[in-house]
Amino acid sequence: MRRPPIGVLVVAAAVLYPAVHAIGIGPSLGGLVTILFFTLLAVGLNIVVGYAGILHLGYAAFFGVGAYAAGILTTPSHPFGWPFWLALPVGGAAGALLGLVFSAPLLRLRGDYLAIVTLGLGEILQVVLINLPGVTRGNSGLSPIGAPRLLGYELDQRYPAFWYYFVLALLLLAVAVSRAVERSRFGRAWVAIRENELAADCMGVNPVRAKLLAFVLSAVVAGVAGAAYGSFAGGLYPTAFTFNISATLLCMVILGGMGNPAGVVLGAVLLAGFDRVVAPFLTEQAGRLLPGGGGGSWRIFLEFHNYRFLLYGIALVILMRIRPQGLLPSAEMREELLEREEAASAAGAPA
């Protein structure tokens, strides 16, 4: 009775949603797939930001490397023509390789310096994608990207239900991996480094190796997510991997509660949900209710989608003011709250 199985209920609701949607209620599955991609990435970013406490500002680079590695292998505009299912792990491996190569010099830095270098990494990748036209087709983009084949079906965007379940499965896998590692000695080493690097070092934890593991593991998640995203979107363009993506993902992690995958999922669903579901709905309603169908030069002010960064910023400021640990802080925080409640109720009980 300590904790109602909210997690189980949420997963069940997510699994059953397409059936509900089939009778015509709720937002489209395609929009939800984008939300799920963001959530998957946020869970991956949480490994490095939430557990190991490394402020990572270039996560989109790992997403992009995975996407392009798999995209190049599957697109018909290159001769490789690999099936999607083979390219998917290659995307993860490409992310891991980039993480490994860059983290060797990176992880000897600390705090702000490390953050600046990750920021640079994200910017460099975008410039590289634009300036290697022979490989990436530059700004004109890599398109189309091969779709996964299953039982004779070519599962591209016309099959949102497949993508919904596929990305949901990836997300559940990422959460399960996060949870398992969190409870192991590796997860404890991450948190120890986040809390006090010197003390962790003096307790026999090799900080460089622990950070490397966090960095590479989160890069694998980003790489796999990228590989899947490329196929879902059908085309890859350098503009899909800007700093905006990295910053939005970071907002999701911080808003939801660093170090707790469930909190991160909540943060990601709230922010991406606003962007993909709430804002289009509001825009549509405004257009319907206002005279002239919301036409006119001030129409642009009713594109609620454009307010997203303003709202993310306001949400973060309010959160930092009233609940700096995030909406759903990690399990140890909850235990502590529980302990206080028990102490309070024990004190209040008649002797």
Partner 1 sequence: MSLANLSLRGVTKRFGGLTAVSSVDLDVAEGSIAAIIGPNGAGKTTLFNLITGVYAPSEGSISFEARDVRRALDRRAIELGTSVAAGCALLGVAIAAGVPAFEALVSGYRYAEPFAWGAGLGRALSAFGERAVGVVLGALAGTAVGAGGYAVTWRRGRVRPHLLARQGFGRTFQNIRLFKDMSVLGNVLVGLHPRLEAGFWASLLRLPSQRREEAGARAEATGLLEFVGLADRRDALAKNLPYGDQRRLEIARALALRPKVLLLDEPTSGMNPNETQALTRLIGEIRERFRVTVVLIEHHMKVVMGISERVTVLDHGAKIAEGTPAEVSAHPAVIEAYLGKGDEDVE
Binding site for partner 1 (CB under 8 A): 76-79, 101, 104-105, 108, 132, 134-135, 177, 180-181, 183-186, 188-189, 191-192, 195-196, 198-207, 213, 330, 332-333, 335-336, 339
Q: Which of 48, 160, 37, 152 is nearest to 99 (CA)?
A: 48
Report in angstroms how near the CB of residue 272 gets to partner 1 at its nearest. Answer: 27
Q: Which of 177, 253, 181 is nearest to 221 (CA)?
A: 177
In angstroms, how far is CA 298 from the centroid of its own chain? 34
State how far the Cα of 59 lies from the Cα of 42, in Å rounded to an integer: 10
- Tell me the CA end-to-end span of the chain in Å, nearest whole number: 25
Residues 115 and 51 sit within 8 Å (Cβ to Cβ): no
Report in angstroms how near the CB of residue 192 gets to partner 1 at its nearest. Answer: 4
By C-beta, is 34 or 330 nearer to partner 1? 330
By C-beta, is 284 or 339 nearer to partner 1? 339
Report in angstroms how near the CB of residue 173 gets to partner 1 at its nearest. Answer: 11
Report in angstroms how near the CB of residue 329 gets to partner 1 at its nearest. Answer: 9
By C-beta, is 20 or 101 nearer to partner 1? 101
Report in angstroms how near the CB of residue 134 gets to partner 1 at its nearest. Answer: 4
State how far the Cα of 260 lies from the Cα of 252, in Å rounded to an integer: 12
By C-beta, is 21 or 188 nearer to partner 1? 188
Cα angle at 250 between 136 and 265, to 5 degrees? 100
By C-beta, is 35 or 191 nearer to partner 1? 191
Report in angstroms how near the CB of residue 72 gets to partner 1 at its nearest. Answer: 9
In angstroms, how far is CA 306 from the centroid of its own chain? 21
Residue 190, both tokens? 């991450």
By C-beta, is 143 or 283 nearer to partner 1? 143
DSSP 228-243: HHHHHHS-B-GGGGSH
